[in-house]
């Protein structure tokens, strides 16, 4: 079933969902949120297009393929573990940059756990999109 | 540097997996990258075995969190040996060649999934944390699930579904056991659990959680009565893949049993291991009887896995240092032998187009080398001296005599004869008798499968004629298992603090 | 309170077992999902979550006072949920394509078709 209405709406909904998901991803280290939940919310931005029945756009950000997300996500997650190894400590040992203050965000802490979370986030998006693609493909059979 | 070596068998497959994903996206072939990576993993594993054999257990606290609070990666001799043999198996199976459908996205991601499988297997061997073991199990299982059903024929789906559902159930059991253990002990680190469980004087608790974990591992290892998924699914996958599964997957279950029931749930901690001995004997008998009745070559071999798993687990139940050493030796020998037999079975199937050995024949005349490649592992599996299977069984029986388990010895010898019988059956049908009329035989294959089979034959011969050296390694590994203080000290003491 | 949790876990396990013993593949899947939830609750129960405070950081973002719930089981559950999510989705796709190709979601029918 195709819904033109939903297609139009998804153009407006997908970006806010994506930005919301990044916020959820960022706050996740100490508060509810994080890579997994952020990824689910972010993926739902993509899924609006699928639900409309017209499929995802052919170009632009929302046309990225699931495997790009999966590869980038897994790669980022592994990379976040390497600094610990290079420093001669355990794999995935956390390193933090000194905190600094930004308007709007308050005090900002950046470090390898956040990088790992970004990896998880991208992987989850890739996984959900792959799932959606697979199910949609089966539909045609 | 110490640290890097412990985690390299996990990191290498993980990075290769990502690299292969990336390469596949741009439509490139990944076979060579993957092969080289497994070769490097094998080299690293060899180094790891040598280091651990000379310098003792290596550990690494992941994330810098010291045990028992964080996850710790532990390479003792047992884990190092298992990592080594699994890298060898994966390398040989890759040489044999995994069927892909074209390249890029069309390949069905075979290389990615095989790397995932190796990642899960190595992780399971190296982890020192019960919950982390669960995670590695799942990594391994999901890779094998997808490998098993990726051709998407209805034939594979049925067997695949049984495999998936039973393993999901086993995982739930595993989690229950782990949750209850954590609730009582407040730790999931193997070494720490062993210490804390010895202070718990509550046989009901120990036996309940122990049994939950036992059932979970038994389902993965294919023990009686949880083995039905194995002969229903293995022979449906691509020959190279089924050889990979046959060699590795059940043995990870055996390894988990070996680790858990020699370290945590011991008789000294109040777990009654008699039941394990009886279950393993039932496994031996049922497996071999199933094999005797089969004419589908790989299905027959799949039933044999079950009966051989019975031997290994019986050794765990006996639990003396000699028994544990022979279990480790048995596992190494069995991985080499069984993978080789599956590969030979795969060649037979490919060349005749039929898995039924009654329709085969005459391979001894036309392919004497294939016949040798079958005979060495088959006789070794049957326990003919001086091949490795003989030493494995001899030592296991010796351990049985020492502890006066006469019933086990009777069962073990009887099952040994039946094993030999069904090997002779394949030999007679496929190799010895004249080719039946109308049997089609494809022209010779390229040399790759033969190279893989040759490699396994060499490994079997090394296990046979350098048995003393290999068994010495196994004895060292078993001593460490039997005296858990060494393990506990090296994990909890943590040299790399 | 812990008693209620125990009864709940028992009920979920009973329901899961009932579903697992059905012949319809879909029911079996639901059974496995239920079982996963039961196990997660069991993990939660092992940390005695009800009588204690929120783990580590309270609502004000500061560490909670003594007696915070053990955070590890919660981390374990999260891991188990994520893994369970992935696996059950995979099984769902598998069951779906078995149904699409075989035209049946009866386990026994699927097996019979294999033998042919």
Look at residue B101 in the predicted model and tell me its pLDDT.
46
Tell me which residues of chain C, numbers 75 to 114, contact chain B at a CB-CB cutoff of 8 Å: 76, 79-80, 83, 86-88, 90-91, 94-95, 97-98, 101-102, 107, 110-111, 113-114
Q: Is B198 exposed, middle or buried (0-12, 13-18, 19+ CB in 10 A)?
A: middle
Could C39 and B172 be called an inter-chain contact, meaning their C-beta atoms sit closer than 8 Å? yes
Enter the tokens of residue B21.
């994903």
What is the rounded CA–CA span in Å between residue B1 and residue B496? 11
Query: Tell me: the pLDDT tens digits for B242-272?
Result: 888 888 888 999 999 988 888 888 777 777 7
Is C63 a member of any domain? Answer: no
What is the rounded CA–CA span in Å between residue A71 and residue C33? 28
Could C90 and B164 be called an inter-chain contact, meaning their C-beta atoms sit closer than 8 Å? yes
Look at residue A126 in the predicted model and tell me its pLDDT.
92
Look at residue B85 in the predicted model and tell me its pLDDT.
92
Tell me which residues of chain A, numbers 35 to 74, contact chain C at a CB-CB cutoff of 8 Å: 36
pLDDT category of residue B72 using cuts at 50, 70 and 90? confident
Among residues B221, B19, B28, which one has the least CA distance to residue B116? B19
Task: Name, in order, each residue with C-beta under 8 angstroms of B152's C-beta and a sequence gap of 6 or more.
Answer: C97
CA of C54, closest CA in chain A: separation in Å?
A: 12
- Residues of chain C in contact with residue A30, where contact means CB-CB under 8 angstroms, are 57, 61
pLDDT category of residue B153 using cuts at 50, 70 and 90? low
Q: Which of B4-18, C14-28, C100-114 has the lowest mean pLDDT?
A: C100-114
pLDDT category of residue B104 using cuts at 50, 70 and 90? very low
Overall residue count recorded for chain A in this entry: 141
Q: What angle do CA A110, A111, A113 make, to 5 degrees?
A: 120
Per-residue CA distances from B403 to A31, B313, B331, B487 (Å): 57, 16, 21, 25
- Above pLDDT 90, what percent of chain C? 16
CA of B402, closest CA in chain A: separation in Å?
A: 44
- Above pLDDT 90, what percent of chain B? 12
Could B15 and A78 be called an inter-chain contact, meaning their C-beta atoms sit closer than 8 Å? yes
Query: Tell me: the pLDDT tens digits for C43-83?
Result: 888 776 666 666 666 666 666 666 667 778 888 888 898 88
Could B14 and A91 be called an inter-chain contact, meaning their C-beta atoms sit closer than 8 Å? no
What is the rounded CA–CA span in Å between residue B351 and residue B359? 12
Asked if the model's pLDDT at residue B343 lies above 80, the reply is yes
CATH number of domain containing C108: 1.10.287.3510
What is the rounded CA–CA span in Å between residue B15 and residue B22? 11
CA of C99, closest CA in chain A: separation in Å?
A: 11
Domain regions of chain B by residue span: 2-491
Other chains touching B, judged by 3 or more CB pairs under 8 Å: A, C
Could B18 and A67 be called an inter-chain contact, meaning their C-beta atoms sit closer than 8 Å? no
Q: With beta carbons less than 8 A apart as the criterion, state whether B380 and B460 touch.
A: yes
Select the residue of A127, A134, A138 nearest C100 (Cβ to Cβ). A138
Tell me which residues of chain B, numbers 221 to 260, contact chain A at a CB-CB cutoff of 8 Å: none
- Is residue B75 within a helix (H) or strand (E), and if so which, with residue range? strand B72-75
pLDDT category of residue B135 using cuts at 50, 70 and 90? very high
CA-nearest residue to C82 within chain A is A36
What is the rounded CA–CA span in Å between residue C91 and residue C32? 10
Could C28 and B165 be called an inter-chain contact, meaning their C-beta atoms sit closer than 8 Å? yes
CA of C115, closest CA in chain A: separation in Å?
A: 24
Look at residue B112 in the predicted model and tell me its pLDDT.
87
- Residues of chain A in contact with residue B7, where contact means CB-CB under 8 angstroms, are 85, 91
Which residue is associated with the tokens 């060898």? B88
> Residues of chain A whose C-beta is under 8 A from some C-beta in B?
65, 67-68, 70-71, 74-75, 78, 84-85, 88-94
Low-confidence ranges of chain A (pLDDT < 50): 141
- Residues of chain C in contact with residue B182, where contact means CB-CB under 8 angstroms, are 43, 46-47, 72-73, 76
Q: Is C35 at the interface with chain B, CB within 8 A? A: yes
Per-residue CA distances from B482 to B53, B124, B128, B486 (Å): 16, 20, 17, 9
Phi-psi region of C22 (alpha: psi -120 to 50; beta: other; left: phi over 0): beta
Look at residue B274 in the predicted model and tell me its pLDDT.
81
Look at residue C67 in the predicted model and tell me its pLDDT.
66
The residue with greater pLDDT, B152 or A60, is: A60
* CA C26 to chain CA centroid, nearest Å: 15
The three-class DSSP label of residue C71 is helix
- Residues of chain A in contact with residue C100, where contact means CB-CB under 8 angstroms, are 138, 141
Round the average pLDDT of chain A to a whole number and report it.
Answer: 82
Q: In the predicted model, what is the mean pLDDT of residues B153-165?
A: 68
Look at residue B117 in the predicted model and tell me its pLDDT.
92
Could C93 and A31 be called an inter-chain contact, meaning their C-beta atoms sit closer than 8 Å? no
Interface test with C, best of B175, B181, B213 (most C CBs within 10 A): B175
CA-nearest residue to C9 within chain B is B176
- Residues of chain B in contact with residue C70, where contact means CB-CB under 8 angstroms, are 186
| Residues spanned by the domain of C97 | 2-51+68-115
The three-class DSSP label of residue C48 is coil
Structural domains counted in chain C: 1
Round the average pLDDT of chain B to a whole number and report it.
Answer: 83
Interface test with A, best of B17, B19, B21, B72 (most A CBs within 10 A): B21
Look at residue B133 in the predicted model and tell me its pLDDT.
92
Q: In the predicted model, what is the mean pLDDT of residues B431-436?
A: 76
Could B154 and C76 be called an inter-chain contact, meaning their C-beta atoms sit closer than 8 Å? no
Among residues A48, A44, A51, which one has the least CA distance to residue A24? A44
Q: With beta carbons less than 8 A apart as the criterion, state whether B71 and B127 touch.
A: yes
Asked if the model's pLDDT at residue C42 lies above 50, the reply is yes
Predicted complex ipTM: 0.87
Tell me the backbone φ, ψ of residue B70, rounded to 5 degrees: -105, 175
Q: Is A131 at the interface with chain C, CB within 8 A? A: yes
pTM of model > 0.95: no
pLDDT category of residue B116 using cuts at 50, 70 and 90? very high
Look at residue B496 in the predicted model and tell me its pLDDT.
42
Q: In the predicted model, what is the mean pLDDT of residues B207-228?
A: 87
- Is residue B329 within a helix (H) or strand (E), and if so which, with residue range? helix B321-352
Q: Is C17 at the interface with chain B, CB within 8 A? A: no
Enter the tokens of residue B363.
């391979």
Q: Is A107 at the interface with chain C, CB within 8 A? A: no
Asked if the model's pLDDT at residue B184 lies above 90, the reply is no
Is C29 a member of any domain? Answer: yes
């Amino acid at each position: 079933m195709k819904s033109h209405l939903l297609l139009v709406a998804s153009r407006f909904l997908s970006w806010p969902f994506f930005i919301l998901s990044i916020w959820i991803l960022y706050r996740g280290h100490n508060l509810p949120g994080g890579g997994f939940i952020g990824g689910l919310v972010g993926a739902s931005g993509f899924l609006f297009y699928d639900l409309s029945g017209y499929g995802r756009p052919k170009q632009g950000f929302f046309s990225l393929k699931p495997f790009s997300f999966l590869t980038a996500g897994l790669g980022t997650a592994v990379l976040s573990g390497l600094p610990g190894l290079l420093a001669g400590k355990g794999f995935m040992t956390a390193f933090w940059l000194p905190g600094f203050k930004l308007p709007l965000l308050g005090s900002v802490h950046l470090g390898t756990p956040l990088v790992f979370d970004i990896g998880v986030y991208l992987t989850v998006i890739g996984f959900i999109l792959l799932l959606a693609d697979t199910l949609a493909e089966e539909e045609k059979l | 540097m110490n640290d890097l070596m412990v985690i390299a068998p996990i990191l290498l497959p993980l990075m290769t997996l990502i690299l292969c994903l990336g390469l596949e996206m741009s439509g490139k072939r990944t076979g060579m990258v993957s092969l080289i990576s497994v070769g490097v993993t094998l080299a690293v594993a060899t180094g790891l075995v040598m280091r651990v054999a000379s310098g003792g257990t290596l550990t690494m606290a992941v994330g810098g969190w010291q045990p028992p609070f964080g996850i710790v990666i532990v390479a003792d001799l047992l884990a190092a040996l298992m990592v080594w043999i699994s890298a060898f198996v994966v390398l040989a199976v890759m040489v044999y060649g995994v069927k892909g459908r074209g390249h890029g996205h069309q390949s069905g991601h075979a290389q990615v999934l095989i790397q995932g499988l190796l990642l899960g297997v190595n992780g399971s061997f190296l982890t020192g944390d019960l919950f982390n073991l669960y995670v590695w199990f799942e990594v391994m299982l999901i890779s094998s699930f997808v490998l098993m059903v990726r051709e998407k024929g209805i034939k594979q789906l049925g067997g695949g579904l049984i495999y998936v559902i039973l393993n999901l159930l086993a995982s739930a059991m595993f989690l229950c056991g782990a949750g209850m253990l954590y609730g009582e002990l407040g730790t999931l680190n193997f070494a720490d659990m062993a210490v804390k469980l010895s202070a718990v004087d509550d046989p009901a608790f120990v036996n309940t959680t122990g049994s939950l974990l036992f059932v979970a591992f038994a389902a993965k290892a294919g023990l009686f009565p949880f083995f039905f998924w194995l002969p229903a699914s293995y022979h449906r996958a691509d020959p190279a893949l089924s050889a990979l599964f046959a060699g590795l997957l059940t043995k990870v279950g055996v390894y988990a049993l070996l680790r858990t029931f020699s370290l945590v749930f011991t008789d000294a901690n109040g777990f009654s291991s008699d039941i394990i001995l009886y279950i393993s004997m039932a496994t031996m008998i049922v497996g071999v009887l199933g094999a005797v009745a089969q004419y589908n070559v790989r299905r027959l071999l799949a039933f044999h896995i079950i009966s051989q798993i019975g031997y290994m687990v019986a050794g765990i139940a006996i639990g003396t240092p000699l028994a544990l050493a022979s279990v480790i030796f048995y596992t190494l020998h069995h991985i080499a032998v069984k993978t080789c037999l599956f590969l030979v079975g795969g060649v037979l199937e490919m060349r005749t187009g039929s898995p039924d050995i009654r329709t085969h024949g005459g391979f001894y005349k036309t392919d004497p080398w294939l016949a040798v490649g079958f005979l060495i592992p088959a006789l070794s599996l049957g326990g003919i001296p001086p091949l490795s299977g003989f030493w494995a069984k001899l030592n296991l029986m010796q351990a049985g005599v020492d502890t006066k388990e006469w019933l086990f010895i009777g069962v073990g010898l009887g099952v040994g004869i039946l094993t030999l019988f069904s090997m002779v059956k394949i030999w007679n049908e496929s190799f010895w008798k004249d080719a039946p009329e109308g049997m089609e035989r494809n022209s010779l294959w390229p040399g790759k499968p033969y190279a893989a089979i040759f490699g396994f034959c060499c490994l079997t011969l090394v296990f046979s004629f350098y048995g003393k050296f290999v068994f010495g390694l196994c004895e060292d590994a078993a001593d460490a298992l039997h005296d858990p203080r060494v393990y506990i000290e090296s994990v909890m003491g943590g040299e790399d603090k | 309170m812990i008693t209620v949790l125990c009864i709940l876990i028992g009920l979920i396990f009973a329901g899961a077992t009932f579903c697992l013993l059905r012949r319809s593949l879909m029911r079996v899947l639901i059974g496995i999902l239920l079982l996963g939830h039961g196990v997660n609750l069991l993990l939660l129960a092992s940390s005695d979550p009800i009588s204690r405070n929120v783990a580590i950081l309270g609502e004000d973002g500061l560490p909670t006072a003594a007696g915070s719930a053990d955070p590890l089981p919660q981390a374990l559950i999260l891991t188990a949920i994520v893994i369970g999510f992935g696996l059950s989705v995979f099984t769902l796709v598998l069951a779906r394509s078995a149904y699409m190709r075989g035209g049946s979601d009866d386990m026994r029918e699927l097996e019979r078709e294999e033998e042919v």
